[in-house]
Amino acid sequence: MIKISKSAQAPAILTTKGASETIKLKNTYEANPTQYTSGIAKMTFDSAIYGNSTVKQQLIAEQYGKCCFCESLFVENSFGDVEHFRPKAAYKKKGDKKLTYPGYYWLAYDWNNLIFSCEKCNRTYKKNEFPLKDEATRKSNHAHSNPLDKEDRLLINPVEEDPSLFITFREEIPVAVNGNAKGATSIKIFGLERLNESRLEHLNLLKCILPLASIDENNTVDVDNAARLLKITSEDVVETVKQAKILYHSAAKASAKFAYCVRCKFAYLPTV
């Protein structure tokens, strides 16, 4: 995971249709809260609003086409989903298998609650999970007196906080910093360990290529020596060195695949 710099400017459909639908959801709950708390009645949502192409494209652009959780590129992993960080319909508490109703219905069209994830992270792993360390801090409905930002979350929100405070990498393996609960819970619920093999392959590729960035492609002696060593032509050496230098300057940037894992392994690489 990596910190996401998200624009404060929400897509227009969220501030128009989304805002209108949010008022309706609040009124619906207030009309009969017991029905919705019991799960007898369930909130309905318009995916055409939060899943609108303008919302998707802005999220994809701001996340560099990467999953907000695992940092895989969508084109490699899935088409991607608009993910509600706080589940809109229902949620699972810490250690609970059953769903609690209603969810954070009033945030269904809230730009601050929307991020983009790969389908595996969203549908197979996170799903409706939203555990709190202290359940007493939960804001259970839109009118509840608990402040939303004071919820004692056990999941990292990459928009609001820096994941590096909670998770680090030992080679390709994600670990919780000093064994902290938020990092450990996030690794498990987001399914980050499932990509250990892919991250290792990526790190090994970088190990092989990055040393070539130190070669001066304009120095004929260096190029010829590398050509003899690698048993390739001098022209191929020059091209390979150019590509290695591009990788050197891009592999740890926020836009790069597995950027945070790469930063942990190759701390000397530029990040901007």
Domain residues of the chain, as ranges? 12-190, 196-265
Specify which residues 84 forms β-bridges with.
Answer: 114
Report the 10 Å Cβ neighbour count for 95.
Answer: 6
Question: Could you tell me the end-to-end alpha-carbon distance of the chain, in angstroms, rounded to an integer?
Answer: 17
For the segment 178-197, the average pLDDT, to the nearest whole number, is: 97
Q: What is the pLDDT of residue 79?
A: 76
Distance CA 89, CA 93 (A): 14
Cis, peptide link before residue 102, omega less than 30° from 0: yes
Instruction: Give the lowest-confidence range in 47-56, 225-234, 245-254.
Output: 225-234
Distance CA 35, CA 75 (A): 42
Which residue type, as a one-letter code, is found at position 166? F
Q: Are 137 and 151 in contact (CB under 8 A)?
A: yes
pTM of the model as a whole = 0.91
200 has pLDDT over 80 = yes
CA nearest neighbour of 257 among 209, 184, 203: 203
Q: Which helix (H) or strand (E) covers residue 188, if one does?
A: helix 181-189
For the segment 35-46, the average pLDDT, to the nearest whole number, is: 95
Query: What mean pLDDT value characterizes the chain?
Result: 95
